[in-house]
Amino acid sequence: MSHTITLIPGDGIGPEVADATKRALQASGARITWEVHNAGAEVAEQRGTTLPPEVLESIRRNKVALKGPIGTPIGKGFKSVNVTLRQELDLYSNVRPIRSLPGVEPRFEGTDIVIVRENTEDLYAGLELMIMPGVAQSIKLITEKCCRRICEYAFQYAERMNRKRVTVVHKANIMKLSDGLLLETFRQVAQGHPRIEPAEVIVDACAMQFVRNANKLDVIVTENLYGDILSDLGAGLVGGLGIVPGANIGSDAAVFEAVHGSAPDIAGKGIANPTALIQSAVMMLHHLKEHEAGAKIERALQHVYGEQAARTTDLGGTLTTKQFTDALCNAIAVA
């Protein structure tokens, strides 16, 4: 079956890793027609907006998008395209598997954590105001509806993927109402999923567990900000931002993207690691039920990282983006 997918190459290293990902998908035999639309800082210079309306229309029509990173200027100016996409398309669940690859930073060989991050509210709801000069306020918005659907998603994901435990990460000892609502809802939802063991941990203790004993963690469900921070911590455990993928899933659409940003420090040098976006595309293939194509790329990644010890410079190797992608595509062809 052929699929039409919206492709947003993005800013900085985005077009480089998007090209590599298209090559890997082509080598896998997946039949994809790309509808390319860009968004982000470079588009804003020509169009006066970081998110032209046809981008959202295309994703709404195709229901699936692959997205490169998009730069967000810090401070005043444009609202983050990433946050806007998640809110406009109600992509409420951000799934980030933190998995080690053979021989890469084997701090905890076999690390396999999945972070399910609520993607639409919390401190990222964009509710900020200056109360008076010198006093700013950000509102942490937590609703029972969003807590319930993200907890349901996490438990259903755990059941579907044969995982054992879902741990809620919170700070309800301090934020008794907002994080308390998440914790209380989690306990209710857990009762409907008796096959999965529920567990609870405070976010600071969880950060220590990541570093001390990551292999004890299984599926994590948490709020937007904690999930954002823990994802980068997890990425650091398994080799850095160059390899960790992600998926933004809603009821009507899904946008697949790496955890990393546009990496302006290495953009245009041809040395970015495309693995994170390629692994995000593998998640997309499974979402499209193209399991065989996805499994081929997974086997090829195990091979190039394992037997071939292929590494881009972020992982201490010497390969360029193109050389790494060449090796991967050759491996996909025989995987």
Binding region for ligand NAI (CB under 6 A): 13, 17, 69-72, 82, 241-242, 257, 260-266, 272-273, 276, 314
Active-site residue, 122 included: no
Query: What minimum distance in Å lies between the beta carbon of 242 and ligand NAI?
Result: 4
Phi, psi dihedral angles at 192 (to 5 degrees): -85, 0
Nearer to ligand NAI, 91 or 154 (CB): 91
Angle at 107 between CA 104 and CA 111, to 5 degrees: 80
Q: Is 162 exposed, middle or buried (0-12, 13-18, 19+ CB in 10 A)?
A: exposed
Contacts of 125 (CB under 8 A, 6+ apart): 139, 140, 141
Query: What minimum distance in Å lies between the beta carbon of 266 and ligand NAI?
Result: 4
How many angstroms separate the CA atoms of 319 and 324, rounded?
6
Nearer to ligand NAI, 102 or 261 (CB): 261
Query: What minimum distance in Å lies between the beta carbon of 173 and ligand NAI?
Result: 29
Phi, psi dihedral angles at 35 (to 5 degrees): -110, 100
How many angstroms separate the CA atoms of 244 and 231, rounded?
9
Query: 92, 122, 124, 296: which is the annotated catalytic residue?
Result: 124
Phi, psi dihedral angles at 163 (to 5 degrees): -90, 165
Helix (H) or strand (E) holding 135: strand 135-138
Active-site residue, 218 included: no
Active-site residue, 171 included: yes
Nearer to ligand NAI, 52 or 261 (CB): 261
Nearer to ligand NAI, 222 or 248 (CB): 248
Q: How far is CA 28 from the centre of its chain?
A: 22
Query: What minimum distance in Å lies between the beta carbon of 127 and ligand NAI?
Result: 19
Query: What minimum distance in Å lies between the beta carbon of 44 and ligand NAI?
Result: 12
Nearer to ligand NAI, 13 or 18 (CB): 13
Query: 79, 204, 216, 269: which is the annotated catalytic residue?
Result: 204
Amino acid (1-letter code) at residue 118: E
Query: 157, 171, 218, 305: which is the annotated catalytic residue?
Result: 171
Pairing of strands 247-249, 93-99: antiparallel
Query: 157, 228, 296, 305: which is the annotated catalytic residue?
Result: 228
Q: Which residue has the tokens 């959202």?
A: 56
Q: Which residue is nearest to ligand NAI (CB)?
A: 261
Signed CA dihedral, 266, 270, 271, 274: sign only? positive
How many angstroms separate the CA atoms of 276 and 72, rounded?
19
Active-site residue, 124 included: yes
Residue positions annotated with a catalytic role: 124, 171, 204, 228
